[in-house]
Structure 1
Amino acid sequence: MFTELSPDNVNTPNAVFPQSKALYWAISVALLPCWAQAEQRIMEAPTVEVIGESFVPGLGVPKSQVASNVQSFSGEDMRHAQAPNLPAFMADTLPSVSANSVTGNPLQVDLAYRGFYASPLMGMPQGLSVYLDGMRMNESFGDTVLWDLIPRNAVAGANLLAGANPVFGLNALGGALNMGTKSGETHPGTEAELTTGSHGYSSMSASHGGAQDGYGWFIAANTWRDGGWRDSSPSNQDQVFAKVGKQVEDGDVDLSFALSQAKLSGNGLTPDEMLSDRRGAVYTHGDETRNRAWHINLQASRELRDGVFLSGNAYVRQTRMGGINPDVNQITDDRFGIQPYEDTGNAGEEASVNRQRLEQQMAGLNLQATLEREEGRRYIFGYALESGRADYKRSYQLGSFDASRGVVPLGVETNIVDVSGTTTSHGLFAVWHETLRPGWQMTASARWNQTRVKTTDHLFDPANPVIIGSQGLANDFTYRRLNPAFGLTWEAAPAFTAYGSLGQTNRAPSPIELACADANAPCTLPNAMQSDPYLKQVVTTNLEGGLRGRFGDKGHWNAGLFRADNRDDILFVATTTSSGYFQNFGRTRRQGLELGLDAEQDKLAWNVNYSLVDATYQSEATVASPANSQADANGNIQVRAGNTIPGIPRHQLKLGVTWKPADGTRLGLQVVAFSSQYARGNENNAHQSDGVSWFGPGVIPGYTVLNLTGETPLTKGLTLFGRVNNLFDKHYETAGQLGENAFVGGAFNPVSAAWRNESFLAPGAPRTVFVGLRYRL
């Protein structure tokens, strides 16, 4: 047993995470005037072309010569869109990108690109690699991505690279998001911003950058508060980012530091019945996550001699997370005879307060040598190393529900998980880029990955393994794979290019997946890990081709097809609404179509993007889904080849129009439309509501949302801006899952036989209004 699992008890040295928020902000703001006196130049943030310029193992070729669909955006793009965070901006503007908020928190969304996820939630099939200044942001324990820890007003721009390109390392099954941060050379000047909005929303940010005598500096800080539009859902976030650098004639060096902390409420999915009564209702409340993190990243590049360049980065990261999750008791602990309430009906044990603590340390090194020979020929050789350690603990405390569906703990807090995992990955890669003939560009690449994943169970008693129910987690697996890729582009005319590519990447199972991979010992994610059988690594083969071009002075268009086949995909198979296990799932496929068009003329700019994402299972399997109307007596359903994977809308349409009536004034209209999707638990696509035993169709309806943005200068340097989300206050949902409602009618029913199978939904936010002021010096 242990007693330090409350988020308030995630101990962190004061030197790393200042406890006084007044001091936290006073230091940041006090430094701005000093730097402002040194440099008072105003510069618009440029679009950052990250490919080949950051120290992520890069392709080393211009964007126009990449044989896949590359989507780029800058910090100015995000500023004009006025999206509250990076995932929201990407979901609203980029083709084939969607987001759902299973937790109910805007900073904890599942971001999907072409059906591959980058999510903060363990249990999601992670399939995107995320980099910040060459530093891998996927966490070591579950390959998750904590969006709340990315310094939002320090991002200068990003590229979203499509397809399985092995150069970008492990987990780049569906693509890679490669972000770069601001520096004093690219973003000189001082800026401050204040925003207020609906439902108790407020944010403040400040930044300053400058350069002198070859030295550059940049610092940014922001704070964010949101009362939340749903019951009991306040959240807050604080961040600081700093970078210093030195430029010389033949190279440069940059050192950056970031500090983030967030307190996020995420009360999760709500039964359809409750949402019908009141959109802000929550199933149970008190869910909270506290994340704290810091990182240091050293980047350097140098031209050794004509045509020979060396670049690299080294970094360390630490993340600490504490969480509380009150819920219906689904605990199985054979040590003390604890069983789910549904099986026992014991008074005082109908609820449980689940607490967790996760501490992760990661260190990495990337080295890259680029050799430019005669015109049109380039070679890149590189090495990547990343090592991570994670320590995870989880406890439960049984109790009862109060009238507000909160949990009153009555029992003793008991430790049920104490596991550590280490991951060490080595990668060797090479890229060959060649101009075959005028207009024809070829890029071939390959990467060798070796990953060792080790897990250790600190609760396992080898003298009494029957009580624990497994052989413990003391296992050690090593995964190796060589992944190739080949791409070809043809510039048939100055405004017309055709491309095609074929590539493979892999993902090794993470410690959380290996720690919960036994059908005979399911776990409540990420709870009650009991055994550690072998899982195969996921291998993705991606084939895509397309056309792109330009028209007029500022017009662009693109059309492309893609198909990504996963072998031995790792999926989380639910045995109840809150427990299950990971297993390899034969084959899955994501394929589709992307069409894009944008133009700018005089005072009007517009863009339209359509995507079709067809995500299907390609193998048959038996999975548990007891709330599905087609479940057998054991609660299992049959998944057939061709069934659609839940959670991924098949059709997406995004339309944007911006009018610039005067210098500095912009008015924007944005339309975002998604088609229907299957709820999780409806993997067989066959669930039917009968209004007696089964409620909810198991399908989340499609929706269309309209947003407005605007900004106009008031005085020199001072700008007024605003945004209206969901202008027509449309009711819609972004995700769903089949489950069992223990609160039919709103109050807890102690007779579990009367609980009702129905759809649990993630409601979209109602109309919200934001207004702010921005000052640039």
Structure 2
Amino acid sequence: MRPVFDLTARRAGWIGLIFCTGIAPAFAQTVPTSSPAPIIIPAAPASSVKIRRITVQTSPLTNSGIDIAKAAQAVQVLGRREISRNGAPDALRALQRNATGVNLDNTAGNPYQPSLFYHGFEISPLEGTSEGLAVYVDGVRFNEPFGDTVNWDLLPEPAIRTLTVEDANPVFGLNALGGAIDVQLKNGFDYHGGEIEALGGSFGRAELDAQYGVQRGNVSAYVAASERHEGGWRQDQSSGIQNVYANLGWRGPRAELHMSLTLAHSALNGPGTAPVQLLAADPSAQYTAPNFQGNRYAKFAISLNDRIDSANAIQAVAYYDYFLQKISNGNAPNDLPCYSGSPYLCSAPGVLSTTRGGVPIPAFATGNFYSELDQESTNTNGYGASLQWTNTAPLFSRHNHLVAGLSFDGSATEFDAVGLIGGITPLTRIFVGPGIVIDEPGTNVPVRAFFRSAYYGVYASDTFDLTQKLSVTASARINAAQLATHDQGGGTLTGQHFFSHLNPALGIAYQLTPLVTVYGGYSEANRNPTPAELSCAGPQNACSLANFFTNDPNLKQVTARTWEAGLRGAALIGGGTLSYQADYYRTVLADDIAFINAPTIGRAYFSNIGKVLRQGVDLGLDLHAGRWRAYLDYSFTSATYRNGFIESAGGNPAADSSGNIAIVPGDHLPGIPANQIKFGADYRITPKWSVGASAVAVTSSYLFGDEANLNKPLPGYVVTDLTTRYHITPKLEVFGTIENAFNATYYTYGGFASLGNVFVAQVPNLTNPRAYSPAAPIGGYAGIKVKF
């Protein structure tokens, strides 16, 4: 749902209220209702146009919003229609399909583990990425404290009411360098009745969602449960996810209180990337295995909104969460026989591989049939609270909206990691025993460490009407972070760090007409280095791609400075409405942090790399006319390095004679396509039957590991989905979807593989290090939804 403006006007009797709940959110500016259909109300007299006031949130805590006409930045809101467009609710697919500036890649090769990019800023479930977006769920920070990662599989999909994508706003705290994603969940006051939805189809996909909400006077209850399974379209690819969400609410004349519980469990196997020559021989093949990630999650939260009087209100939230993650990654070995016939393994020429106690590791396998298994365990207890005051009393006889608050987020994390050397199956390349522990000081050592973090925030945002048409918003937030590491394995990880930063913002919004607004402004944001980054921050102490940590040097925090300007509006066209938005942004990061290849194969480290520029344009059209709903969006994104640096080439074939690549100012960041076009249309054939189509077109992007832009980019693609729905009765619906309807062969991630130390029976002489993560071929799905 994405209404920019709500209008009514007389057109030969009646015309619907223009409530743009359509499928693209490029100019979405409101919080939608739970109704899937446009709201129809009597029209105003022919000479008038009525605008329904719509609010957008100015902070992570709810019930503190301002009129959309006063917002000084772009905001996109997706509701139930977008989230469930292909049948069962799918938040990530909705963002990819409907939000301008958003694209997904998938290095893990599992559909529930993609990395999301917005304006070139990334959030990912995988360590080793520079997390540039903040994510909140009902006012609680959702970025995991250890590495700021975001695990999408923990979200209770059927319980999601809205997804809001907001451009840079310092009030959203750490990681909001490029913006924030705010997830609002349902409760028994806004959702009544029950619903059961089942879906099944290609690749062994089976999904079951159930939800029920009830209100009895001043008390409400809501519960949602979800089960998702998929066998996958590639070797060793599978998913199993279970989620439960419950919310108990109470409200009086002025106050509203909610308590919620979220439980989640997932077991995800992703085959990752595979060399292109292997994919040519077998498109479903994985390169090395296993690649497993298991998550367990529990969160309890309590929130309060108290309207003290007509001008003052208090919002508060407190939470505790527990997160346990287990990872097993089969990788190409760094340890091989020192020479043909050698009785021992070596990690480098003339350097013996060792296990605990410095004992040399024997060459136990025949030939070069070796593999490494990296295992990690991350055990985090998180807790925090936020308190906010909202005041809407006039100032100098003008409308004024003030929000001020405090926040605290703390965590305690125990991290364990170990590398094991073993054999490998010749045909499927899966790790097998004996599993000897690798203990090589300075290169790869077992790790056990305890991390504590404490994040503090003080913020304020004030929107003041200089005139009836001109509004000015001034904001500021102070972020402070205390990080402590305690090595429990006899290493050198112990350290203390403190970071702080003041982030201001100033913006204006001017209503050219009641239906057209121009806006613009400047903002700053920051993120501090995470415990994961601080513990792997030097070329002499690099860690594996699974992030084993060996020392604790310092890194600078990352700061972002953003300029933004845009236009949004709506127009009556015949019996329908055309909404539109155009937005320009320019963000410069100082002291950005990147995961840089180290000379040791399969190792990398975090380092400040100077300035990085991201700039671009988002354009969007959304049409509601009779039985049609359609959208067309375009995004241009340019992400370039502004400072040069040198890194080890890894598997990049364009390495110089020293085995390095040189990044120069103007080189493009990998994985970020310059152009995206998104299109969708729904047509209601009868009052009960509708059909639809949507498409995403993405141009090429540079491979990860090719920051110097020396190789052919990853090809672009166009992927199309077809959908249909039929309401047998008002409470019984059947639906069907064809995803990738034209069976396009395309890849969502590209990088380089290490060749020569993994035997591939299908292609014994691999020569091309390019490695891709292939997307799913054509798939068909059908489902049924029952309401009660």
Q: Shared topology, TM-score over 0.5?
A: yes
Q: 1:442-481 residue pairs with structure 2 within 5 A?
A: 442-460=472-490, 472-481=492-501
Q: Is it true that 1:234 corresponds to 2:238 in the alignment?
A: yes
Confirm or deny that 1:703 pairs with 2:717: yes
1:151-166 alignment runs, 5 A limit: 151-163=156-168, 165-166=169-170
Structure 1: runs of 5+ lacking an equivalent: 1-41, 462-471, 688-696
**Which position in structure 2 is the counterpart of 1:287?**
291
CA distance in 2, matches of 1:325, 1:526: 7
Alpha carbons of 1:714 and 1:616: their partners in 2 closer, same or farther (altered >3 Å)? same
Q: Deviations over 1:461-514 (max 9, x none)?
A: 5xxxxxxxxxx1111010011110011000010121100010000000000000
CA distance in structure 2 between the partners assigned to 1:459 and 1:676 by the alignment: 45
Cα drift, residue 281 of structure 1: 1.0
Q: What is the CA deviation profile of residues 19-55 of structure 1, one whole-angstrom value per residue up to 9, with x for unaligned ones?
A: xxxxxxxxxxxxxxxxxxxxxxx97369998833885
TM-aligned CA deviation for residue 765 of structure 1: 0.8
Counterpart in the other structure of 2:111: 106
Q: Check whether the contact 1:95–1:610 (CA below 8 A) recurs between aligned residues.
A: yes
Partner residue of 1:773?
784
Map residues 266-305 of structure 1 onto 2, 5 A cutoff: 266-305=270-309
Displacement of 1:59:
6.6
Report the residue type matching 1:510 in the other structure: T
Q: Tell me which of 204, 229, 247 is aligned to 1:225.
A: 229
Do residues 562 (structure 1) and 582 (structure 2) align? no
**Amino-acid identity (%):** 29
Question: What is the Cα deviation at residue 306 of structure 1?
Answer: 2.6
Matched, 1:327 2:351: no
- Determine the C-alpha separation between the residues in 2 that align with 1:352 and 1:297: 41
Aligned AA for 1:480?
A: S
1:140 alignment partner, SS class: coil
Do 2:520 and 2:565's aligned partners in 1 also have CA atoms closer than 8 Å?
yes
Stretch of structure 1 that moved more, 185-194 or 714-723: 714-723
The aligned residue for residue 197 of structure 2 is 193
Is 1:44 the counterpart of 2:31? The answer is: no
Q: Is the Cα contact below 8 Å between 1:49 and 1:157 reproduced in 2?
A: no
Counterpart residue identity of residue 544, structure 2:
T
Matched with 2:19 is none
Q: Is the 8 A contact 2:623 2:629 kept in 1?
A: yes
Tell me the equivalent position of 1:38: none
In 2, the alpha carbon distance for the partners of 1:424 and 1:452 equals 5
SS at match of 2:84: helix
Equivalent position to 1:209, from 203, 213, 223: 213
Shift, 1:331, TM fit: 6.4
Query: Does residue 381 of the first structure (1) align with residue 386 of the second (2)?
Result: no
Equivalent pair of 1:523/1:580 in contact (CA under 8 Å): yes
Cα distance in 2 between the residues matched to 1:408 and 1:50 = 57
Letter in 2 for 1:405: R
1:96 aligns with 101
- Contact 1:51–1:58, Cα closer than 8 Å, also in 2: no
CA 1:395/1:318 → structure 2, altered by over 3 Å: closer, same or farther? Answer: same
Structure 1 residues 522 and 571: alpha-carbon distance in aligned structure 2, compared to 1, 3 A threshold: same
Quote the offset at 1:66 in angstroms.
Answer: 1.3
In the alignment, which residue of structure 2 is the partner of 1:466?
Answer: none
Question: 1:749: Cα distance to partner?
Answer: 9.8
3-state DSSP class of the match of 1:654? strand
Q: Distance in 2 between matches of 1:75 and 1:592?
A: 28
SS at the partner of 1:681?
Answer: coil
Deviations 1:563-582 (A, max 9, x none): 01000001000225631000
Shift of 1:344: 7.1
Contact in 2 for aligned 1:229/1:765 (Cα 8 Å): yes
Q: What displacement does 1:748 show?
A: 9.4
The 1:364–1:63 alpha-carbon spacing in structure 2 relative to 1, beyond 3 Å, is farther
Q: Deviation per CA, 1:407-459, whole angstroms, max 9, x where unpaired?
A: 11114346711122111011111111100001101100001111011112211
1:56-95, Cα deviation, whole Å (9 max, x unpaired): 3887322332111110011232123436632222112211
Q: CA deviation at 1:757?
A: 4.8
User: Is the counterpart of residue 435 in structure 1 residue 455 in structure 2?
Assistant: no
Aligned mates of 2:313, 2:303 — CA distance in 1: 14
Q: 1:253 to 1:744 in 2, by over 3 A?
A: closer
Deviation at residue 103 of structure 1 after TM alignment: 0.3
Q: Equivalent residue of 2:543, what SS?
A: coil
Tell me what 1:22 maps to: none
User: 2:300 is matched by which residue type in structure 1?
Assistant: I
Structure 1 distance, partners of 2:193, 2:334, is 55
- Quote the residue 1:31 is aligned against: none
1:656-675 alignment runs, 5 A limit: 656-675=680-699
CA distance in 1: counterparts of 2:306 and 2:102, whole angstroms = 36
For 2:375, the aligned partner's letter is: R
- Counterpart residue number, 1:29: none
Whole-Å Cα distance in 2 between the matches of residues 313 and 49 of structure 1? 24
The residue number in structure 1 matching 2:425 is 402
Residues 736, 762 of structure 1: 8 Å contact kept? yes
Q: Please state how far the C-alpha of 1:182 moved relative to its aligned partner.
A: 0.5
Distance 1:210-1:83 versus aligned 2 partners, 3 A rule: closer
SS at match of 2:777: coil
CA distance in 1, matches of 2:635, 2:34: 35
Kindly state the Cα deviation for residue 208 of structure 1 after the two structures are TM-superposed.
Answer: 0.3
Question: 2:621 matched to 1:590?
Answer: no
Q: 1:43 to 1:134 in 2, by over 3 A?
A: closer
- Tell whether 2:617 aligns with 1:572: no
How do 1:102-181 residues align onto structure 2 when only pairs under 5 Å count? 102-163=107-168, 165-181=169-185
Mapping for residues 338-349 of structure 1, pairs under 5 Å: 339-340=346-347, 346-348=363-365
Which range moved further: 449-458 or 486-495?
A: 449-458
Q: Which ranges in structure 2 are unaligned for 5 or more consecutive residues?
A: 1-32, 39-52, 337-343, 354-362, 439-444
Displacement of 1:99: 0.2
Contact in 2 for aligned 1:130/1:176 (Cα 8 Å): yes
Q: Report what 2:534 is aligned to.
A: 514
* Distance (whole Å) between structure 2 residues aligned to residue 675 and residue 43 of structure 1: 35
CA contact (8 A) 1:322 1:356 kept: yes
Q: Which residue of 309, 313, 335 corresponds with 2:313?
A: 309
Q: Distance in 1 between matches of 2:653 and 2:312?
A: 64
Asked whether the equivalents of residues 55 and 312 of structure 1 are also in contact (C-alpha less than 8 Å), the reply is no
Q: Give the aligned partner of residue 24 of structure 2.
A: none
TM-score normalised by L of structure 1: 0.88
CA deviation vs aligned residue, 1:287-320 (integer Å, no higher than 9, x gap): 1111000101101011112301111100111110
Find the aligned partners of 2:705 and 2:583 in 1 and give their Cα distance: 32
Q: What code does the residue aligned with 1:210 have?
A: V
| CA distance in structure 1 between the aligned counterparts of 2:650 and 2:768, rounded to whole angstroms | 9
Q: Partner of 1:144: helix, strand, or coil?
A: coil
Q: Given that residues 578 and 621 in structure 2 are in contact (C-alpha distance below 8 angstroms), is that contact kept between their aligned partners in structure 1?
A: yes
8 Å contact from structure 1 (residues 209, 216) kept in 2:
yes
CA distance in 2, matches of 1:175, 1:642: 23
Quick one: which of 626, 644, 650 aligns to 2:650?
626
* CA 248–719 in structure 1, closer or farther in 2 if over 3 Å, else same: same
Query: Higher mean Cα deviation, 712-721 or 562-571?
Result: 712-721
Cα offset, 1:755, TM superposition: 6.2
Indicate conservation of the 8 Å contact 1:245/1:255, yes or no. Answer: yes
Taking structure 2 as the reference length, the TM-score comes to 0.87
Query: Match of 2:49?
Result: none
Q: Which residue of 2 aligns with 1:424?
A: 454
How many angstroms apart in 2 are the aligned matches of 1:46 and 1:212?
A: 26
2:591 & 2:425 partners in 1: Cα distance? 44
The amino acid across from 1:256 in the alignment is S
Q: Cα deviations across residues 355-403 of structure 1 (Å, max 9, x unaligned)?
A: 2111111111111001111252121110010001211111222111112
3-state SS of 2:279 partner: helix
* CA gap 1:338/1:51 in 2 versus in 1, 3 angstroms: farther
